[in-house]
Amino acid sequence: MTAQHVIIIASALGGLIGGMGMGGGTLLIPLLTLAAGLEQHLAQAINLIAFVPMSLVALFIHKKNGYVSFKKSVPIAAVALVGAVGGSFGAKYAGGRGLRIAFGVFLIALGVYQAVKTAVSAVKAHRAKKRAQAET
Amino acid sequence: MKDNVKTGLIYGGGVLVGAVSGFFGGGGGMLCVPLLEAYGLDCKRAHATALLIILPICIVSASIYIANGYFEATAVLCSVIGVTLGAAAGALALDKLNGTAVAAIFAALMIAVGLKLTLS
């Protein structure tokens, strides 16, 4: 397999997870660095670029279904843009290795958060089911 | 919670969402959804609206990365093709899967990959 094939397969896996609505590209970046051997900054740039067409399609569908709140997005988007400019330049000055380790810690934190959230909602669903059974 | 405290949290959270997305090249969406829920949106609306916030962030951040020289045409093209195909398959498969199981597997994967990146 050539490097291009590995990148396509790694990206398809990342897209598969993103398409299920699971944290978008958070796993595409390590797939690109660990499996395809790309440099950390380049992998992050690719994730940012790949997100644009993907989210445009998703937004179009959500907009049609009436789920997008423009009013609430404007103030957050405005301040988030300021943060994004700072973060993007910050990444340039962080070395590839440092950035990789920081990204690893970030992923662990997100993973723990996701695990807790999943467990809490599973327990809630279970309790609701039991209550419904008790009432009937 | 007092209104001004809440407003401060939402704006501070917004800056954090942007900074994280720019610095790590992603992941801001996962922070943006709970932020929008705190701002009064239900789960589905929070997910959809988060996309609208992350999209301009991605465009701006990607432009800065490219301007700083982090770009390889072949790698980007291969990745966009792969991601698009994978995302379509994932979206189609979602209906047929158990949401809790998928989320649990995803959480475990993130922790495992995070450990690998930190320790290697």
Residues B44-87: tens digit of each pLDDT: 888 889 989 999 999 999 999 999 999 999 999 999 999 988 88
Nearest to B25 among A45, A108, A111 (CB): A45
Question: Considering chain A, what is the average pLDDT of its residues?
Answer: 89
CB B71 within 8 A of CB A4: no
Taking contacts as CB-CB distances below 8 angstroms, the residues of chain A near B33 are none
Which residue is closest to A27 within chain B, CA to CA?
A: B110
Tell whether B90 and B45 lie within a shared domain: no
Do residues B111 and A115 touch, judged by C-beta distance below 8 A?
A: yes
B19 Cβ under 8 Å from any chain A Cβ = yes
Place of tokens 């039991």: A130
Are residues B65 and B13 part of one domain? yes
User: Comparing A68-82, B26-40, B62-76, which segment has the lowest mean pLDDT?
Assistant: B26-40
pLDDT at A21 over 80: no
* Closest CB from A48, A92, A125 relative to B26: A48
Percentage of chain B lying above the pLDDT 70 cut:
99
Q: Do residues B64 and B118 both lie within one domain?
A: no
Distance CA A87, CA B24 (A): 8
- Residue B64 and residue B92 share a domain: no
- Residues B41, B80: one domain? no
Same domain assignment for residues B8 and B66 = yes
Per-residue model confidence (pLDDT) at position B44: 84
Answer whether B39 sits within 8 Å of A76, measured CB to CB: yes
A18 and B48 within 8 Å at the Cβ level: the answer is no
Is A88 in contact with B23 (Cβ distance < 8 A)?
Answer: yes
Predicted complex ipTM exceeds 0.85: yes
Taking the C-alpha atoms of residue B68 and residue A123, their distance in angstroms, rounded to an integer, is 47
Residues of A in contact with B113 (CB under 8 A): 27, 30, 34, 104, 107
Same domain? For B16 and B29 the reply is: yes
Number of folded domains that form chain A: 1
pLDDT of residue A3: 85
Number of domains in chain B: 2
Same domain, B65 and B78: no
Beta strands per DSSP E along chain B:
none
Cβ A106 vs Cβ B118: under 8 Å: no
Q: Are residues B13 and B48 in the same domain?
A: yes
Which region among A27-36, B67-76, B83-92 has the lowest average model confidence (pLDDT)? Answer: B83-92
- Residues of chain A with Cβ-Cβ distance to B91 below 8 Å are 19-20
Mean local confidence (pLDDT), A117-125:
90
Q: Are B21 and A86 in contact (CB under 8 A)?
A: no
Range of the domain at A97: 3-135
The domain of B91 spans 72-120
